Structure 1
Amino acid sequence: MAKISILFMGTPEFALPSLEILVRNGYPIAAVVTQPDRPKGRGKQLVAPPVKIAATSYQIPVLQPPGIKDPAFLEILEKISPDLIVVAAFGQILPKTVLDFPPLGCINVHPSLLPRYRGAAPINWTLIHGETRTGVTIMYMDEGLDTGDILLQEETPIPPEENFGILHDRLSNLGADLLLRAVRLLEAHQAPRNPQEDSLSSYAPMLKKEDGLIRWSEEVSTIANRIRGLSPAPGAYTFLNGKTLKIFAAAGIEQSVPGQPGEVGKLTDQGLQVTAGNGYVVLQDVQMENRKRMNVSDFLRGHKLSTGTVLG
């Protein structure tokens, strides 16, 4: 029996394991749709999305339409005529004309336990809010924002040492495994549909720059979660002598220390102590504006930072 034909839509690294698992398991990928190349770096040279690079290596046709509503793309969609559309971190909302096209529908790989953390940045906000469990949902797409029926869902604990980068990679692989199970169920016409409970929904909006600002008057757990939820990118930050200081790793200690919020204390083997709302935060890994990322010990060799200096 011939395997179903799939149109894959994805852009960043999160989508790579999902594309790769479909290819490895012999599913015909009719084409890959991804965002246009974007200028990056100081030279502003055009850089291809990770999914485009992977698709090219597999010799899969790549489409980069300026918009999904573009008539030229809809014509190509009719020619390709896929049985199923798989979406993983594509970056655009699909119109009804696309959603209704494939006979098996459109499914999406979403890194949260829907209906919680609908939106563009679920992994970041899951960590920022200090959640101890998360997961991946394979959902049928509709015209809402991550509101479609659930096909499959898998939960996983979040160890306290995991930051955004580690959890991102783990969920992308978990999502790929779950996607393969979902595609096989669809292929066998055995896929379940479970409506989401809207009363339990929460949102994970696209990150803004101010979401990374550390407020030293907050509780140490809140500060530590913000740091891990934004590490390694885009990075939580504070200010030192008017310049941005990004913080990538830190530990929160709920123990009273003297000083105002943001005040620099002593340097220990664990890192640099900074007073916070209900204790202190130990900075371990930082990056000064226009400098390289480094551990705090190396940072202090090049920056004179005296006790009593106030960050923020």
Structure 2
Amino acid sequence: MSEHSLRIIFMGTPDFAVPSLKKLCDNGYTPIAVYTQPDRINGRGKKITPPPVKALAMEKNIPVYQPETLKTEEEIERIREMKPDLLVVIAYGRILPKALLDIPAYGAINVHGSLLPKYRGAAPIQRAIIDGKKETGTTIMKLDAGMDTGDMLVQKKMPIGPHMTAGELFDALSLDGADLLLQVLDNLPEYMAGAVPQDASKATYAEKITKPMGRIDWTKDAVTLDALIRGMYPNPGTFTFFRDKRLKIHRACVSEAADTSSEPGTIVSVSGGAMGVQTGRGILTLTEVQPENHKKMLVSDFINGHQVKINDKLEY
């Protein structure tokens, strides 16, 4: 099979899928069509924003389709008429019906941001950090009717650094996913033939991340809170309350300072451009925050601007 003969339909939506689409276009696998989520109203400006995948597809002059659902006979027939050999699906955000998976000769493959069967589901990258894991990775698998249950074609491990945020891990895994995808496409029949079933007994699930999850409970230990802050950054983020106003926490780290006798949530130090907070166990040092109705700022600016003092409290 020559590098130009494979008829691929690419299905993806967020930034995580962009490096893979670019890698395909740069290596002779330009898709015959791209499917992505409809444009959405984004942010406070109420502007209609196209998905990142759409922006790249238009730049590459690839036809773009943005249906609300793939389950209509009309949409399935349109894809059938394109005669794809393969569907490449990366964080598309839609469940593909079996009728669609059965159309291409090679079915559909998916790039997933975990070492399956660990962290099936919507938020594998954030959950790995929140859970304090030291390692994660990327899996390319065949799609079936289940939730990330298909046979695996290849995996690549990646360490999670002690200060790594979800945003940084997203970027790193998206690049690994693009490289692995090209590796698979260059030897697609062999990878398909060697697919390995997942061990369902070892499966874990990464449920969707929600904004309320970001509320800091200062009775938890500093290590757990540090992992939550990193795993929720940059979106949707973590928050606490200071003088009855919401305070977002963008950057923090576990301090080497010893526990104090103060209650959890008490500010125990305000020096060196940092703010130490007593937790249920250990001190968490905040270095970058965002007060309500303000831009994010260094903690030193927050301390000066709000006259923060030792023994002030962060509420939960």
| TM-score when normalising by structure 1 | 0.97
Q: Tell me which residue corresponds to 2:307.
A: 304
Q: Tell me which residue corresponds to 1:35.
A: 37
Q: Tell me which residue corresponds to 1:200.
A: 202
Kindly report structure 1 stretches of 4+ aligned residues shifted beyond 3 Å: 187-191
Shift of 1:306: 2.2
Cα deviation digits, residues 208-229 of structure 1 (max 9, x gap): 2221111111111000000111
Give the Cα–Cα distance (whole angstroms) in 2 for the partners of residues 281 and 60 of structure 1. Answer: 48
Percent of paired sites with the same residue: 46
What are the equivalent positions in structure 2 for 1:220-231 lying under 5 Å apart? 220-231=222-233
Report the AA paired with residue 3 of structure 1: S
Q: Tell me which residue corresponds to 1:181.
A: 183
Cα deviation digits, residues 258-293 of structure 1 (max 9, x gap): 310001121122610100011210001111122101
Q: Does 1:4 find its partner at 2:31?
A: no
Consecutive unaligned residues of structure 2, counting only runs of 5 or more, are: none
Shift of 1:186: 1.2
Q: Tell me which residue corresponds to 2:79.
A: 77
Give the secondary structure class of the aligned counterpart of 2:121.
coil
Tell me how large the CA RMSD over aligned residues is: 1.4
User: Taking structure 1 as reference, are residues 40 and 189 closer, same or farther at Cα in structure 2, changes over 3 Å only?
Assistant: closer
Give the secondary structure class of the aligned counterpart of 1:29.
coil
Give the secondary structure class of the aligned counterpart of 1:102.
coil
Q: Tell me which residue corresponds to 1:256.
A: 259
Q: Does 1:280 find its partner at 2:256?
A: no
Cα deviation digits, residues 223-265 of structure 1 (max 9, x gap): 0000111112211111112222111111113621231000112
Give the Cα–Cα distance (whole angstroms) in 1 for the partners of residues 191 and 305 of structure 2. Answer: 63
Q: Tell me which residue corresponds to 1:112.
A: 114
Report the AA paired with residue 206 of structure 1: K
Report the AA paired with residue 117 of structure 2: P
Q: Does 1:234 find its partner at 2:233?
A: no
Q: Tell me which residue corresponds to 1:247.
A: 249
Report the AA paired with residue 306 of structure 1: K
Greater alpha carbon shift after TM alignment, 47-56 vs 262-271: 262-271
Give the Cα–Cα distance (whole angstroms) in 2 for the partners of residues 237 and 145 of structure 1. Answer: 31
Q: How many aligned residue pairs are there?
A: 312
Give the Cα–Cα distance (whole angstroms) in 1 for the partners of residues 214 and 193 of structure 2. Answer: 40
Q: Does 1:143 find its partner at 2:145?
A: yes
Consecutive unaligned residues of structure 1, counting only runs of 5 or more, are: none
Give the Cα–Cα distance (whole angstroms) in 2 for the partners of residues 109 and 304 of structure 1. Answer: 48
Report the AA paired with residue 278 of structure 2: T
Give the Cα–Cα distance (whole angstroms) in 2 for the partners of residues 92 and 302 of structure 1. Answer: 46
Kept in 1, the 8 Å contact 2:135–2:159? The answer is: yes
Shift of 1:40: 1.5
Give the Cα–Cα distance (whole angstroms) in 2 for the partners of residues 43 and 233 of structure 1. Answer: 17
Give the Cα–Cα distance (whole angstroms) in 2 for the partners of residues 190 and 231 of structure 1. Answer: 36
User: Taking structure 1 as reference, are residues 189 and 239 closer, same or farther at Cα in structure 2, changes over 3 Å only?
Assistant: closer
Give the secondary structure class of the aligned counterpart of 1:226.
helix
Kept in 1, the 8 Å contact 2:270–2:303? The answer is: no
Kept in 2, the 8 Å contact 1:4–1:187? The answer is: no
